[in-house]
Amino acid sequence: MDNLVTSNIRQRPIRTLVSVAGVALGVTLIMLFTGLARGMSNDLQRRASNVRAELIFMRPGAVQLTATTANLDTRYVERLSQIEGIEEALPVIRHIFQGNKGFGFEQIDGLPWDAYARMNGISMVEGRGPQALNEVVIDETKARNSNLRIGDPIKPFGTEDYRVVGIYSPESGARVKMSLEALQKALESEGKCTFIFVKLRNPDQLQEVAQRIDRELPGNTIQPTREVFTSFEKSIPYLGVFLRVLVGLAAVVSSLVVMLAMYTTITERTREIGILKAMGASRGYIVGIIEKEAILISVIGLVAGFVVSLIAGYLIHKTYGLVFEYSWTWAVVAAAIGVIGGILGALYPAWRASNLDPVNALAYE
């Protein structure tokens, strides 16, 4: 039977190639989208976790660090600094802009650079911190992915050129940073920020200080930074729904492609199947041939899909700097969908083939 299955595949290379491509497409979709979602979420979390402030002070409703609205008055910094237990309060204004290669989005932070660098243990690898209104600093990853050096221009707002004056390490928050005043002026948000990092004198008193802030400045959002940093993926609206829909779509695509291929092959092999049945082949034997062929096609499609997704992820990362992190869980899901989709897709054609009348099949032209 195995020789019959492999010979059937070799005799119809175009149909086999189309079937393999259909399965591979489903696997590639699952691996790329889940890998991108996981990679970007973990990348944001890694960068954000390098912030050493224990609390984040925001206006009500601003519950995530991906916000870009500057609606918090910077005068809160002075009031926060006067509360017992707080060592330092740093205002940050965050802006989202389109990537320099026209693909995806990036963040830029406006903040008091010297104080922020001191708080988070950041040092300059090359150059210096931002001083003038048209100066920015970037981390090593941004410099490497975008091929930027000291003195190169960057356009976070699409028109006006800003100049890179420093490259820092380790990565922390947004990869591009400028002075608070510069970003406030660029966004016409003088005296405003997006959130305030709060550094405590004693990190063990986090709950007590948070309660003091709430008493002194009621009606605002106060969150421990560790809670924000561990919930990036959950904070992306409907990401889980999107991934489940994607998985379902991949399963449907794989099943339909295999079913169409198997249905076509039954029509092409009607006479061959009639000969097999006339020789005494049982229904189970016929179904087994069709299902084995579908499984073999699915396995080839799986391998092709994994290879394509790895190569595509690498090329996208090198070209656009997007981060892909593949997981064994999603790889198993993709493999299961590819194989099960192929088996289910071949069921009807296999059943139809097993029920062919041998006399009619032999007379088929």
Tell me what pLDDT residue 1 has: 47
Tokens read off for 206: 């986090």
> What is the tens place of the pLDDT at every residue in 172-191?
888 899 999 999 998 888 99
| Identity of the residue numbered 72 | L
CA 203 distance to own-chain centroid:
33
Tell me what pLDDT residue 146 has: 82
Tell me what pLDDT residue 89 has: 94
8 A C-beta contact, residue 83 and residue 212: yes
8 A C-beta contact, residue 196 and residue 70: no
Q: What are phi and psi of 226, to 5 degrees?
A: -65, -30
The C-alpha atoms of residue 17 and residue 300 are separated, in whole angstroms, by 10
Tokens read off for 339: 């194989």
8 A C-beta contact, residue 47 and residue 331: no
Give the bridge partners for 274, in sequence order.
none
Those residues of the chain that have pLDDT short of 70 are 1-5, 7-8, 61-68, 97-105, 158-159, 228-240, 262, 265-271, 357-365
Q: Tell me: cis bond preceding 13? Omega within 30 of 0 counts.
A: no
Tell me what pLDDT residue 150 has: 94
Tell me what pLDDT residue 358 has: 65
Report the run of H or E that residue 253 belongs to, with start and end. Answer: helix 239-268
End-to-end CA distance of the chain: 25
> What is the tens place of the pLDDT at every residue in 46-68?
777 778 899 999 988 654 544 45
The C-alpha atoms of residue 1 and residue 18 are separated, in whole angstroms, by 23
Tell me what pLDDT residue 247 has: 74
- Return all residues near 178 (Cβ < 8 A) that are at least 6 apart: 108, 109, 110, 130, 135, 136, 137, 162
